Structure 1
Amino acid sequence: MLRRFLYIVLFVCVAIGCYYGMSRASATPITQIKDIRYFASKDYVRVVIDLVSLTKFKKGELKDSKKIYFDIEHASVLNFMKRQVDVDNSIVKRIRVGQFDKETVRVVVDLDNYEDYKIFTLINPDRLVVDIYGVREAAPAEKDSIDKPADAPAATAGAANEPPVTSVTKEAAITKEPIKEPEVVKEPEVVKEAAKPAKELAKAPEPEKTHEKITEKIPETDRTTEKTHEVVKPPIETGRHKTKSARQSEPMITRKTIVIDPGHGGHDPGALSKNGLKEKDVVLDISQQLARLLREKYYFDVHMTRSDDQFISLDERTAIANGKRADLFVSIHANANNSPTIKGIETYFLNFSNSDEAMRVAARENAISMKQMKEVQSDLGLILASLARESKRDESLHLAHYIQKSLISKVGKKHRGVTDHGVKQALFYVLVGASMPAALVEISYITNPTEERLLSTDEYKELLAGAIAYGINKYISSLPDSPQYARASAHKK
């Protein structure tokens, strides 16, 4: 009897121990904060929070004290991680990170003069991305040199030589800011009304003059600011019918700003041909020629995300375009396929896709699996819905059509049998977060023997660059403010 009683007591103790052990295990954080990076320009900052794995988070805003914060659940800060970085530009003062409680990490962004912010998650590596926009001032600007390596946004105000990617550097305690019913962010639901069906978008008619974008009129260039528009005065008539007041009221003309993004680079070669031709080298050659044509022939203000063989993260590429206040963003890539018979040209814009082929191409460029590609679409539902509301998706579709049509037309005149894969939509990380119309061009298949041979020649690369430049110019010429740019171009010539 006593022995049975002892067995029962022992069983109860073991059960209680297991229960508490499981409870403690369930309370153990499942992710960690690895690093915090940022990319900053005069009126835009992108903050990237690197995680071991994605988990739920809450976001909150304290307008009175100019702070936004993110409570990352079931998370801890790595022991070696510093707790503060000083950004100290016109938008963000500092970013602080600390253990809010046993299972929650709080990231606080101390702000100065901001207008809006957007947040989304990306995978491989898992990260939380926050885009913060300052209040834009109608101020004159300085033209930056296109020949700067990487051409990235300045990392800090007053520290021109500091790298654009910055890790948290100072120890600082995080105060427990009062929480005002923060919003719980899980997997955002896809807003079905925000995106048209793939077939309807892909068959959309080519645009004529349907845009409603207005070009800001900017006074003479002030060489102390960072905005990338350049101002040109149109020729002034000197005849007797041109009065002094009329000459003084002549409007200023600004140039469109375009960011060209050569894909891959550095330790990331991109797709490889059977004979060792690297995508990163081909697209850099084409992008450099494209930038030259857009500047010299069409009189645009052009910047490149990289101007040599260096690695630029996908997070940084659109951050560069946003920081430059670009009017267009065009990413240049070469396609690849396991079948060497597949060839052709296609152009993409950012949107949902149910096409296995489109998702395969995007997964390769995003360096993730097809399974991850399908999962991440729902995570970015709110971002894609925002694109639809702001008309950026439709403008990107129009841009893609102009580029694709120009490529097929001009390449087809010199090379028979060019395959037109048309305009497609897919979720490319490099286009996520762009605040302007954006397109990604897959110029040819580097894995096809015929197109590999062509991509090895200067003639074909020049042909591709000229066709893309022509398509971009045709798109810009379709905008309501195009006469101003035509006048500016004619004046330069």
Structure 2
Amino acid sequence: MADDTVPEAQTGDVHPAVLPIVTDVRHWSSSDASTVAIDLGDQVQYEAHRLNSPERIYFDLHDTKLAPNLSGKTIEVGDTLLTRVRVAQPMAGVTRVVLETKGGSNFSVSLEPNPYRLVVQVRGQHSSEIETASASRDDLQLRAHVPKFRIVLDAGHGGWDLGTVGRRGLLEKDVVLEIARRLGRLLESRLGSDVIFTRKDDAYIPLDQRADLANQTQADLFVSIHANYSDLPSARGVETYYTNFFSAPGSREIEKRENAGMKKAVMPVSLSNLELRDKIEESRRLAASVQRALYGTLAAQSPTIRDRGVKEASFVVLRGTAMPSILAEVSFVSSPTDEQKLGSSTYRQQIAEALYKGIARYAAAPHRVKMASTSAKSTGE
């Protein structure tokens, strides 16, 4: 039956004869998580949203058909994280699954192949899912000598913007969100940083709003996390971008992909010539530090990975920010080898550790004046 407690579902043209079928919805609990698996006949596009009063998470699976025995189904859960799960088809072509959650929970979602299923894990706010090694002696010494940085972490894509989709169904938007969360916990616990996320769940945030958030919060650094794409399955490696407000040769294709979704032009922030030079130089130094750490860490485990270097590109989130800003492409979702690795929590943690190491090394070096200020905002409003 239709769910009247969440917004009206949106759908486009529907072709019932070819829609993937939602065949089952299953649930199981463990000591630290409540998991819901939505079994699918094929790969699907979906949106995830979180609402309050009462707390619930709902997923709209677009261009799908609900198996007749699931229509209006309710699964009573009653564990410490979930009250129940409800299933409905509010309109033709849209399946909605609602998780009635309890206070103080986080969730992650991934589309798994062979067979296709959407797996949702609900965990407590202080779950051990995200590994956060305690600060070492070196970390404590670094923390004592490094000023407290305010760092904006930007997990690329989100919501309807899936980013790159791997050959086995891995979604870039899910991978980079988890890496950002892991990195955030490392920066907070080890470096004492004030971390701000452009998104904390599966939501689409316009690119100009991401840049504006960094400017308005007067962040010291902006780090955008993405996973790469190539038409060649053999393409692998890591690369890190900064901007000099111009497009370097060869950057056009990736700019078009990462800037997808922008409906209006975003002008670079207003900086003096000196501030612009400082931002460019500090961004280059941050990119170099992160690139060295990324390649050095991942190549130790996978010697065939390629160091694709530090590059310049005119990404909206980089030229719209007033502080040193970089965009890291941490592996290729389009590579079957990398896709398998990115599906591993161990590999995602290695990437987060590498990003942390690159940022920490940059933070320990001497710098020019702080770049962010409330007077330097995007003029693309």
Q: TM-score, normalised by structure 2?
A: 0.55
Query: Structure 1 residues 360, 288: CA separation in 2 closer, same or farther (over 3 Å shift)?
Result: same
Give the 3-state SS of the residue equivalent to 2:359 in structure 1: helix
Query: Structure 1 residues 325, 271: CA separation in 2 closer, same or farther (over 3 Å shift)?
Result: same
**Structure 2 unmatched ranges of 5 or more:** 1-104, 108-144, 369-381
2:366 to 472, 479, 486: 479
Give the 3-state SS of the residue equivalent to 2:225 in structure 1: strand
Letter in 2 for 1:347: T
User: CA separation in 1, counterparts of 2:254 and 2:146?
Assistant: 40
Q: Is the 8 A contact 2:238 2:331 kept in 1?
A: yes
Per-residue deviation at 1:288? 0.2
Work out whether 1:325 is the aligned partner of 2:199.
Answer: no
Per-residue deviation at 1:433? 2.0
1:468 to 340, 344, 355: 355
Per-residue deviation at 1:284? 0.2
Tell me the residue number matched to 1:414.
301
User: CA separation in 1, counterparts of 2:147 and 2:287?
Assistant: 24
Tell me the residue number matched to 1:440.
327
User: CA separation in 2, counterparts of 1:330 and 1:387?
Assistant: 22
User: CA separation in 2, counterparts of 1:464 and 1:456?
Assistant: 12
Q: Is the 8 A contact 1:388 1:394 kept in 2?
A: no
Give the 3-state SS of the residue equivalent to 1:391 in structure 2: helix
Give the 3-state SS of the residue equivalent to 2:363 in structure 1: helix
Q: Is the 8 A contact 1:395 1:437 kept in 2?
A: yes
Tell me the residue number matched to 1:289.
182
Work out whether 1:364 is the aligned partner of 2:251.
Answer: no
The count of corresponding residues between Structure 1 and Structure 2 is 227
Query: Structure 1 residues 258, 407: CA separation in 2 closer, same or farther (over 3 Å shift)?
Result: same
Output one character per residue of 1:261-312: Cα deviation in whole Å (capped at 9) or x when no partner: 0001111111111111111000001000000000001211111111111110
Tell me the residue number matched to 2:134.
none
Tell me the residue number matched to 2:192.
299
Q: How does 1:183-202 map to 2 (within 5 A)?
A: none
Tell me the residue number matched to 1:308.
201
Letter in 1 for 2:326: A
User: CA separation in 1, counterparts of 2:193 and 2:216?
Assistant: 17
Q: Is the 8 A contact 1:362 1:426 kept in 2?
A: yes
User: CA separation in 2, counterparts of 1:391 and 1:280?
Assistant: 31
**Structure 1 unmatched ranges of 5 or more:** 1-146, 150-251, 482-493
Per-residue deviation at 1:448? 0.5
Query: Structure 1 residues 381, 324: CA separation in 2 closer, same or farther (over 3 Å shift)?
Result: closer
User: CA separation in 2, counterparts of 1:387 and 1:427?
Assistant: 20
Mean CA deviation greater in 413-422 or 467-476: 413-422
User: CA separation in 2, counterparts of 1:413 and 1:363?
Assistant: 32
Tell me the residue number matched to 2:338.
451
1:353 to 242, 247, 262: 247
1:428 to 310, 315, 329: 315
Percent identity for Structure 1 against Structure 2? 40
1:392 to 256, 273, 279: 279
Q: Is the 8 A contact 2:157 2:204 kept in 1?
A: yes
Query: Structure 1 residues 389, 309: CA separation in 2 closer, same or farther (over 3 Å shift)?
Result: closer
Per-residue deviation at 1:390? 4.5
Q: Is the 8 A contact 1:261 1:329 kept in 2?
A: yes
User: CA separation in 2, counterparts of 1:480 and 1:392?
Assistant: 11
Superposition CA RMSD, Å: 3.0
Q: How does 1:75-224 map to 2 (within 5 A)?
A: none
User: CA separation in 2, counterparts of 1:478 and 1:419?
Assistant: 27
Q: Is the 8 A contact 1:387 1:393 kept in 2?
A: no
Letter in 2 for 1:464: I
User: CA separation in 2, counterparts of 1:447 and 1:384?
Assistant: 37
Work out whether 1:260 is the aligned partner of 2:153.
Answer: yes
Give the 3-state SS of the residue equivalent to 1:297 in structure 2: helix
Q: Is the 8 A contact 2:297 2:354 kept in 1?
A: yes
Q: Is the 8 A contact 2:269 2:322 kept in 1?
A: no
Tell me the residue number matched to 2:165.
272
User: CA separation in 2, counterparts of 1:443 and 1:360?
Assistant: 17
Give the 3-state SS of the residue equivalent to 2:191 in structure 1: coil
Output one character per residue of 1:57-106: Cα deviation in whole Å (capped at 9) or x when no partner: xxxxxxxxxxxxxxxxxxxxxxxxxxxxxxxxxxxxxxxxxxxxxxxxxx
Give the 3-state SS of the residue equivalent to 1:271 in structure 2: coil
Return structure 1 stretches of 4+ with deviation > 6 angstroms.
381-385
User: CA separation in 2, counterparts of 1:480 and 1:381?
Assistant: 22
Output one character per residue of 1:197-229: Cα deviation in whole Å (capped at 9) or x when no partner: xxxxxxxxxxxxxxxxxxxxxxxxxxxxxxxxx
Per-residue deviation at 1:410? 1.0
Query: Structure 1 residues 276, 298: CA separation in 2 closer, same or farther (over 3 Å shift)?
Result: same
Output one character per residue of 1:162-182: Cα deviation in whole Å (capped at 9) or x when no partner: xxxxxxxxxxxxxxxxxxxxx
Q: Is the 8 A contact 1:148 1:307 kept in 2?
A: no
Give the 3-state SS of the residue equivalent to 1:255 in structure 2: coil
Per-residue deviation at 1:338? 1.2
